[in-house]
Every structure is written in C-alpha cells, then in structure tokens.
Amino acid sequence: MKTYKKQIIITSLLILLTLLIGCSQEQSQSETLKGSAENDSSKQAINDNDTMEEKIIRLSGGDSGLPNPFRHVSRGPGISKMHLIYDSLIEKDEEGNIPWLAKDWEISEDGLEYIFFLEEDVFWQDGELLTAEDVKFTFDYYKKHSPVSNALYVHDEYIIESTEVLDALTVKITLNSPNPSYFTDVGFMRIIPKHIWESIEDPKSYDGEGKVIGSGPFVMESYNLQEGTYRYKAFDNYWGLNQKVDYIEWVPVSDTIMAFENEEIDLINVSADLISRYKDDSEFTLISKHSYHSYRLLLNMEKRDELKELNIRQGMAYAIDQQNLIDVVERGSGEIASMGYVPSVHYWYNNNVKDYEYNLEQAKELLEDTQLTFELLTGNSNDEIRIAELIQNDFREVGIELKIESVDNRARDGAVVEGKYELVLINSGGMGSDPSYLSNTYGEGSLPGYYNEEIQQLLIEQDKELDNDKRKELVFQLQELIAEEVPIIMLYGPVDNNVYRHGHYDGWMFRYDHNKATHNKLSYLER
C-alpha cells in the first residue's frame, strides 16, 4: 500500500523560475475590462469601514503586456501584474512556500504523486466556482499551450505524467520522475478557469470575454497599452486574505524621483547617491535588498566561432573592470556577480568558484594579440548604454572592438529568443530560487553554439538527486565548472534601495527569493 508523507510547508530550497525572454503579441488597442466583482460577498470591507477614503497605491507604469498567463511580458513587471489576478496552489513569503489555493497537500514517499486539497468557496472573478476540475484542466492545457512562464517543461519534457480529480476539491498530480524542485514548479503555476479556456485553441491571440479572469485578489479594470497604464480593483469576493488597498494603479512618469516627490507615485528605487536624501527624514522608510538579478554578456557561439575558444572567453572576462561598472553606473551600490552564476546571497553559493578580477595583462596573454570585432546589442536604458560603453572601452585595451547597437528592451529580448545577436547585454533575474534554474540557463540548447558534456551530465544528475546534501555537492561542482568555462560573462548585481512614505502605505515586503517589493502579491494583502 502506498503511503503518503504529509507536508505543511516546503522550505525554500526548491524553486525554478524562468529567466524571462520572450515576447507577447499584443493588440494595439486600449483595453478596458470590468471585473465581475458584483457579488453578494459578506467579506469585510477593505478598510473595515466603507465610509473611509479609498486606499490607492500608484506605481511607475510601462506596458508589460496583457496580464493573463499567455500574454504578459516575461519580465518581472509583467509576471507580477498577472500574479495579482491569478492564484496558484502555493505562494511564497519571506521564509518559504506557503499554502494558497491548496490549503494542504500530501506527497508520496517516492516523490511521484502530489495530492492537493483545495480551499472551499473559491470564486473566479466572473462568479463561477473554482474546483479541482479547473486545476486538472490547467495542467492538461499547459501541456498543449505553454504559458509565458512555464516551469513544467524540463529538458524538453513535460514533467506531469497525469492529473486526476479525486473529488470536487481534491486533485492528484503524477510526475514523470521525482525531482526536488518540482513541487514548487507545479505549485506556483497559475490556475486558469476551465469554463473560459477549454474552447480556446490559440490562447496567445485570444482577445475575447474572460481573457483576464482569475481567482486572485485584484480585478483588472483598465489597461492602456500605449500609455502603459493599468488600474486594478480589489476583488470583493476574494476567498483569501483581505486586500490592504482598494486600487493599484500603474501610471506613466517621465522622472520617477520627481514623480515620487510630487506624490504621484508611492515607491521608488533610488541609486546609492540619493539615499542620504531620504534616510534621515522621518517621512520616509528606506529598505534595501541585494538583487537576485545580474547584468551579463551572452555570447552567441553559433554566430561567432571565435567565442567557442575558451581562452577568448576567459580573456574577455579578465578584460572587464566589473567594479568600475558598479562604481560608475550604480554609485557603488552593487556586487560583482559570481562567474558560477549562483549569487553570493544564495543559500547554495559556492565561494570557491574561479573569479576573474580585472587583469589586462592576463587578458592579453589569453587573447594572444587576437584582433576581434563584435556587435554588442543592448537595451536603451541609460544604465545599459553606459555599461556597454564602459565595456567597449575595456575591450579596446585588449584589441577587441565593439559596435554597440541600442534598441528598446522588448526588441532586445526578442533578439535573444531568436538568437539574432553576437554579444548581448541583458539584466536577468530569478536567481534567488532553487538552483535548478541552472538547467534552463546552461542546459543543452540554451546557449547558441555552446555544449559541454560534463555540465550537461551534472545538470541532469542534480535534477534527479533527492538527497539534499548530495545535490548541494553537485550544484557546487556545477558552479566551479561553469565559472571555469565562462559560457556567459557575468557582470554584477545591483542593490535595490526602495524608498516609500510609510504614512501612506507600509505593507511592502520581500519574498525569500525575490528583491522587488512591488512584485510580491503579499505586499498588498493583510496578514
């Protein structure tokens, strides 16, 4: 007889986040949706008093796509807006994973079967009841129609073997193999309503009724693609924690500092040289968090054979003054990234990986007077352009010329997906979660033209290893080998310095694996 081991909370060792990249096909029209929040909920009013002034949070805007699982932009702002509308089986707080739509679960001893027990009286934002059928449908649908953020495909295989409804509030998911990170991968996927999507063959182009209907705490009232504005309203019939705000608005601003000081937006991320402006003022609260993002140079070895040579890659790494990038661009507020990818603040960081301290002589020795010219693609933010220019200066010292091309971020991200670059500068995140993300980053086919058999075997082995200590050792080995190989030149991770007026709103929090307070669903809910 099969036995099950009951879990209350899975710790923070297990997670996979996609590294973004991708683009959505957006409609060029302003969209307005009315959440069907009309309901007969007896839920307590948000401010415990309907007569009180409505609480509104305003944040800096920008288009990040239609916030459903198939059409949001794959970066943090797009993902987080979608998460506020769509719930998952589990969520994440400061310490680890917590129950959400699933109030409890059981995991079989062989790690192959998960049984999720759902909360009762959970309603979709159009008034329909959420059941286990929706959960089963979601995972079956994602197999055929991949959402933007999809952790369910690993090494090109769908990790779910089957789903089964045991009763109206219980669903069993069977995996194709046990894996220490799969619980979080499955649990954090957004659940979608069967009654809306079951007849939709192309969700990426679907623009009809119910396209932004979730079971989450906020309903989208309006979205203007051209202006990058959104307006969310608290979902009155939300099953879970009370919302702390009535509305969230993302508004266009040209200068975030000025907009914050004019009280047009409620939170900003300031550079280190501006911290003193706020930290001794009792009106403001400053919270800093090391970034789980990092700037890096991606090397396209399909486009340029020279980049397959290890001495070229290592020479380029030695030629970049990473500390100077931090000092100039971030005013010193940042940390040189590990060439082994896993950041120093991660629980499985290996401090013994090879570093590439700025060394022109070492770089020249490795490059052996080779004269090279590359095209460097970058986004169009001031920081990215400045970083590209500083690297251009560094490379010139060792005989490498860079031709910089700056495009908007969406075009740059699209070029990464399509492999249309030689070198590309990009800032990516998701580095605070389970290190299974190394498979997405360095796995076969992830980096154009690059393959290392030993790395591949270690990636597969650590994905299957259920013993935590043994798996940690494998991840440590991976970091050392990746740092030696330099298939990506890691640069630095900035520190986020958030400033807000606590008198207006004081609910901001960081998730254990994420450094953006505004991106966390729990930042907007009572706990």
Q: Which of 423, 161, 460, 210 is nearest to 307 (CA)?
A: 423
Query: Considering the chain, what percentage of its residues have pLDDT values greater than 70?
Result: 90
Find out whether 212 and 78 touch, Cβ atoms under 8 Å: no
Find out whether 447 and 487 touch, Cβ atoms under 8 Å: yes
Statement: residue 70 has pLDDT above 80: yes
> What's the pLDDT score for residue 5?
38
Torsions phi, psi of 19, nearest 5? -95, 30
Find out whether 192 and 138 touch, Cβ atoms under 8 Å: yes
Q: What is the domain partition of the chain in residue ranges?
A: 87-197, 294-495
Which amino acid would we find at residue 45? A
Alpha-helix residue ranges (DSSP H) falling in 206-321: 256-261, 276-279, 310-319
User: Please, which pLDDT band fits residue 53 given cuts at 50, 70 and 90?
Assistant: confident
Neighbours of 178 (CB within 10 A): 16
Find out whether 378 and 388 touch, Cβ atoms under 8 Å: yes
> What's the pLDDT score for residue 8?
35
> What's the pLDDT score for residue 52?
54
CATH architecture group of domain 87-197: Alpha-Beta Complex (3.90)
Sheet holding 31-32, edge to edge: 31-32, 218-224, 229-234, 247-251, 56-60
| pLDDT tens track for 467-491 | 889 999 999 999 999 999 999 999 9
Looking at CATH, the fold of the domain delimited by 294-495 is given as Dipeptide-binding Protein; domain 3 (3.10.105)
Asked which of 177-181, 284-288, 358-362, 404-408 is least confident by mean pLDDT, the reply is 177-181
Q: Which helix (H) or strand (E) holds 114?
A: strand 113-118
The SS3 assignment for 500 reads strand
| pLDDT tens track for 245-266 | 999 999 999 899 999 999 999 9
Neighbours of 465 (CB within 10 A): 18
Query: Considering the chain, what percentage of its residues have pLDDT values greater than 90?
Result: 73
Q: Cα dist. 439→237, 256, 460 in Å?
A: 40, 36, 8
Statement: residue 30 has pLDDT above 70: no
Strands 488-501 and 334-336: antiparallel
Instruction: Quote the mean pLDDT of the chain.
Output: 89
> What's the pLDDT score for residue 289?
87
How many angstroms separate the CA atoms of 523 and 36, rounded?
Answer: 24
Strands 294-299 and 488-501: antiparallel
Find out whether 413 and 425 touch, Cβ atoms under 8 Å: no
Find out whether 33 and 222 touch, Cβ atoms under 8 Å: yes
pTM, two decimal places: 0.80
| pLDDT tens track for 440-473 | 899 888 899 999 999 999 998 998 888 889 999 9
Statement: residue 181 has pLDDT above 90: no
Statement: residue 398 has pLDDT above 60: yes
| pLDDT tens track for 361-393 | 999 999 998 899 999 999 999 999 999 999 999
Buried b (16+ CB within 10 A) or exposed e, 354-382: bebebeeebbbebbeeeebebbbbbbeee
Q: What is the DSSP letter of 418?
A: H
